[in-house]
Chains A and B, each alone.
Chain A
Amino acid sequence: MNLNLFTCGGNYSFKLHKFVTNGSFNHLITQRFESGLTVIARHVPNRVVTLDAWVNAGSANEDDELNGVSHFLEHMLFKGTAKYGVGELDKAVTGVGGVWNAGTSKDYTHYYVTVAAPFVDTALDAISDMLQNPLIDSGEFDSEKRVILEEYRLKQDNPWGALFDELYEASFVRGPYRRSVIGTFESVSGLTRGAMVDYFERYYAPANMTFIVVGDIEPELAVAKTRAAFQGFNRPHRPLAARNDTAEYASGVARVIPRDVQETYAAIAFPAPAIREFDDMLALDVAATILGEGRSSRLYRALKEDMRLVNLVAAGFPTHRQESIFYVGMTLERGKLDAARTETLRLVRNMAGNAPPTEAELAKAKRIIRNSYCFATETNTGQSGVLGYYQTLMGSADFVDKYLQSLDAVTRDNTMAVVRRYLSREPNMVVVEPK
């Protein structure tokens, strides 16, 4: 929830919220308590401990009316419990030097705190209490709604923020990912405390949650402490009635958002597989890396360096539980947009035609993916992020092992096949351009 605005990098990362890291997770303890709560613990002897609670609920669980409630609720959990009172939770955690935050996504919400190992009990008491017994005080609800609307305004003033929400909406005629995580101004304005409490009671149930402990604590002790902290937590998981929310892709949609900007921002999106389409997902990750990861990628070399059509370009494939999107994002001068789009489509489709991936490109892409796993899991929160992400989406914390073991088997033909299957469709495009 914190934001440091005193940075402005020249290279905006196109990566959406997807954990791409490397490394095998040995020495894990995974237990499922009688209540249904899953706990995962891993020992890292680095003097700090991260606690990371994952709730299997995000904006994909919302409808138009409830849009934004997952994210709003995430804010409200920091605003006190019966035991801690308004403002007391952060005082407890900060008082022992803890650093904490939370994030809401389309598929999940998670809350994480890192403290020096001697203070793990303080952090555990605070985070477990807020997950089980949040006040959701009505006065605080009204005040925090104004904060969320300010967050919405801030996002509108950022070209990428406005563009990616619009890109998901443009890409799907219907489906769980059409709506944004933050919600619309109208939906957030209309949310009631009653609806939020109902949502909380349905989804913040032990069987729908995973609690992860990574750091300088013996895993057995971590599990015992977690068990004690969640003693008596037995709320049933009562998801809202399933809606007919199967993804249906749009095709050939083009939207332009005029803004007070100097650079033009564009993203071209194609359909992409759900995480359960394991082989396709893996091959498309390799294709995305070859096409648009870093300065040696095909799109970067051709569009930015050789043709000088764009000033920044990258490809991405944020994996979701359900069908997702594959996108190429770029910034450029407005007058070059048509040529850049044409060349992008040519380069993407050529990968399934007259310019298949070379063996060197495949090896390079696999190395990049492996190493990015490795580097991202250098911190406790990086490790808990990977474990929680795969446990929540796939019910298996060691899914990452399967992912990395299978990576080597991706071939040129696999890669060409997914490019043909997913990226030959007519894409959708959203552009933020100068007024």
Chain B
Amino acid sequence: MPDNAFAADAAMKIETLAGGMRALMAPSDMNNIVALSCYIPLPGAIERPGEAGLVSFTHRMLMRGTSSLGPAELATAIASLGASVGCDAEQDFSCAHMVCTSDTFAETLRLLADILQNPSFEPEEIEKERQSTIAAIRRCDDDKPAFAIKRFMRELYGGHSYGLPRMGVKETVSEFRRDQAAGIHEEFFDPARFLVVCAGNFHPGEARAMLESLFLPRQTRYEPVEIPAPAYAQPYAVQLRRECEQAFLVAGYPACSIQSFDYPAVRVLRGVLGESMSSRFFVELRDKRGLAYATGCSGGAYLHGGHLAGYIGTKPESLAEAREGMMAEFDRIRREPPAADELDRARNHIIGKFLIDHQTNAQRTGYLGDYEMLGLGFAYDEKYPALIGGVSAGDVLDAARKYITEPVMVELVPGKEASDDAMME
């Protein structure tokens, strides 16, 4: 595979601006678009019990008006520039982002600076956001596979924040108060601690000057927060009942953190099992047996933990066969290493997707900034293809034997009443 043409170039470096903000500039004249991501050291996973969704809620409140612009004025100002502006929490950090055309870069950045530094947190807007968020949670639960996956994540991570939906749950969102959101903003939104990554058609000198003049450092009560490692669940299986046409199974295992030496091998393991059309789940469960349209192997890798999981949607009468087939594939990969050509395809598919996923300026800021915030350094973006390319069949086998153990399994099956039955405790 060729090198990553879109990745960080050798001359790129993080600079510290006056005031302390760190900035990474990746100018390019491929088009007239600029993307800027502003990373905030505010992990979604810091939420304590009873606060699920609070960080994400705080972010959405930022879009509901500033001290000088009401919510309608703010929305109109962004739309009139044709720009896209938003912010949200990830598990290990938060990020605000904007995409605009080059001619509106200064105006869009001015709005973003206002949003991040001067939110109004109007009580009426808190209530509106609460209603909107609870409705979004309902919509998420109305999607049957998402409903099953949500339960799986909660069970696997043993109640740790990594396993809770970033949007929160109805019980917690119903109780959020203005002072909680304002408190999070007060504590964590110090521009001196931000990392800004900018890619696209802009002038770095002008961007630097604007960032220094628009983002003013301020005193905060900020103290770095340590996220505890998750205490994963013991093997567990549960069957949920909803009125649905299709049964859905998700089965998975705790895996490694993104910083682990095992991560590249786990990533390739996922590829062998269920990503491309020639991966094992796709060939064995979908192509050969016609059991499913949707099947695959997914996963997550965070600072302090991760998981990998297989999923399949099938007609209810085929659920047992689908379960047996998926578990047989999990078992097979533990017994014998992937063949050379199979390994090659899995690695190349991951590298190919990675390269293709760098075409937009927003994607480039996302990769560079995410890696920096995850402690890997932005240059990991260049190293990643070689790391994946260096995974051997033995590495995949070792990873399978280490992480594929006793599963956590959630099944959704048709039933009249919303209920769940433990299959195995």
Q: Hey, which bits of chain A sit against chain B, CB under 8 A?
A: 1-6, 8, 10-12, 23, 44-48, 78-79, 86-87, 90-91, 94-99, 114-118, 142-151, 153-154, 156-159, 259-263, 293-296, 300-301, 304-305, 308, 311-312, 331-332, 360, 363-364, 367-368, 370-372, 374-375, 378-380, 435
Contacts and interface: CB of A to CB of B under 8 A. Distances in A.
Contact of B290 (A146, A259, A311): A146
Interface in B278-314: 278, 283, 286-294, 296, 298, 309, 311, 313-314
Contacts of B418: 260
A5 B292 contact: no
A47 B352 contact: no
The 9 closest A-B pairs by CB, nearest first: A97-B352, A371-B82, A146-B290, A10-B136, A311-B135, A47-B5, A260-B243, A151-B293, A8-B146
B359 A46 contact: yes
Contacts of A44: 30
Contacts of A5: 145-146, 149, 294, 296, 298, 311, 313
A99 B356 contact: yes
B135 A296 contact: no
A374 B84 CA distance: 12
Given A10-B167, A435-B243, A116 B82 contact: no
Contacts of A435: 243
A4 B296 contact: yes
A343 B84 CA distance: 28
Nearest to A368: B82
B5 to A, nearest CB: 4
Given A95-B341, A150-B246, A296-B72, A371 B101 contact: yes
A261 B142 contact: yes
A117 B341 CA distance: 21
B49 to A, nearest CB: 22
15 contacts: A6-B311, A48-B359, A86-B287, A87-B283, A97-B352, A97-B355, A98-B352, A114-B356, A117-B2, A145-B290, A147-B292, A157-B244, A294-B79, A300-B75, A371-B82
B178 interface: no
Contacts of A293: 79
Interface stretch (B36-44, B125-133, B190-198, B398-406): B125-133
Interface stretch (B89-97, B213-221, B342-350, B373-381): B342-350
Interface in B147-201: 149-150, 165, 167
Q: Name which of B71, B291, B355, B359 has the most chain A CB atoms within 10 A of its CB.
A: B359
B9 interface: no
Given A48-B356, A150-B313, A260 B101 contact: no
A87 B287 contact: yes
B417 to A, nearest CB: 10
Nearest to B351: A97
A23 B352 CA distance: 27
Nearest to B127: A308
A145 B291 CA distance: 10
Nearest to B78: A296
Contact of A375 (B99, B131, B136): B99
A156 B245 contact: yes
Q: Name which of A98, A145, A154, A305 has the most chain B CB atoms within 10 A of its CB.
A: A154
A311 B136 contact: yes
B360 interface: yes
Nearest to A161: B143
A142 B71 CA distance: 55
B410 to A, nearest CB: 13
Contacts of B67: none
B316 to A, nearest CB: 9
B139 A47 contact: no
B32 interface: yes
Contacts of A96: 348, 352
Nearest to B56: A10
Contacts of B356: 48, 99, 114
Given A158-B144, A371-B82, 8 more contacts: A8-B143, A90-B277, A117-B2, A150-B292, A157-B244, A260-B243, A308-B131, A374-B101
Contacts of B100: 371
B294 A154 contact: yes
B359 A379 contact: yes
Contacts of B393: none
Contacts of A363: 80
